[in-house]
Amino acid sequence: MGRSQNSFIKNQKVKKRMQKRKEKEEKKKERQENNNKGGDLDDMIAYVDEFGNIVDEKPEEPKPDDKKKKES
C-alpha cells in the first residue's frame, strides 16, 4: 500500500514540474513577441527645435536667403 502512494506522489510532482515548465515557456514566448527593444532608428532619434524643445519630427530646413548670395 505504501508503494502505490509513493508512486502517486511522484507522478503528481512530475505533473506539477511539467506544468511549471510549460508556463515558463509560454511566458518566454510572450516576452519575445512583445519585445520593443531594437526598434527602428527613426524611432530612437530625437531633434531639438529652435526653442530648445525635444521633438520627434525632423525640423524644417531653413530656406536659403537670397540676400546673402547677392552680397557675395
Q: What is the arithmetic mean of pLDDT over 17-39?
A: 91
Contact 46, 56 (CB under 8 A): yes
Q: What is the arithmetic mean of pLDDT over 43-70?
A: 79
Residue 56: pLDDT band by 50, 70, 90 thresholds?
confident
Across 18-22, 33-37, 64-68, which has the greatest mean pLDDT?
18-22
The predicted pLDDT at position 4 comes to 76
Contact 55, 49 (CB under 8 A): yes
Q: What's the pLDDT tens digit per position in 8-27? A: 999 999 999 999 999 999 99
HSE, CB side, 13 Å, CA atoms: give it for residue 56: 4
